[in-house]
């Protein structure tokens, strides 16, 4: 078939599927609505919320740093122990959390649909001899 003879119209882009950073940001910010939290508390909260699926510590630290740099959270040290860093949500963080709450449900539905279709596609290769 010649190129572009019967193109399939793209209705969405994979770039609109839920991104890991959005999942982390939303869980962190929604948890911070209940008050300040320590890094390790939030990390445990994510793992509990996602039924044992956690976040790489370096990636999580980077997300928290980015949230702080974007003004969505305040980071503060408690004492001189570098492990006692706690976070509080800012007004900007509340607004960002609200925007994620408006945006994410549709993205989650799209991600579920995409992964279901991809799972069916992978099933075609289930009986393939991979040796």
pLDDT digits (tens, 9 = 90+) for 60-111: 999 999 999 999 999 988 766 666 789 999 999 999 999 999 999 999 999 9
Asked if residue 55 is part of any domain, the answer here is yes
When divided into structural domains, the chain yields a total of 1
Asked if residue 5 is part of any domain, the answer here is no
Asked if residue 79 is part of any domain, the answer here is yes
Task: Give the list of residues 6+ apart from residue 111 with CB closer than 8 angstroms, or none.
Answer: 17, 18
Whether residue 1 has pLDDT greater than 80: no
Asked if residue 54 is part of any domain, the answer here is yes
Give the residue numbers spanning the domain of 82: 18-122
Alpha carbons 123 and 131: distance in angstroms, whole number: 17
Q: Give the CATH number for residue 85.
A: 1.10.10.10
Mean pLDDT on 30-48 = 94
Question: pLDDT category, 122, cuts 50, 70, 90?
Answer: confident
Asked if residue 116 is part of any domain, the answer here is yes
Asked if residue 6 is part of any domain, the answer here is no
* pTM for the predicted model, two decimal places: 0.83
């Amino acid at each position: 078939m010649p190129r572009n003879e019967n193109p399939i119209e793209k209705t969405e882009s994979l770039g609109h599927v839920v991104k890991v950073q959005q999942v982390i940001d939303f869980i962190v910010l929604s948890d911070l609505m209940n008050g300040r939290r320590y890094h390790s508390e939030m990390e445990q909260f994510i793992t509990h919320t996602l039924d044992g699926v956690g976040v790489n510590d370096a990636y999580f630290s980077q997300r928290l740093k980015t949230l702080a740099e974007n003004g969505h959270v305040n980071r503060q040290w408690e004492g001189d122990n570098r492990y006692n860093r706690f976070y509080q949500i800012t007004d900007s963080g509340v607004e960002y959390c609200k925007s994620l709450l408006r945006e994410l449900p549709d993205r989650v539905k799209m991600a579920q649909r995409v992964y279901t279709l991809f799972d069916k596609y992978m099933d075609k290769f289930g009986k393939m001899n991979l040796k």
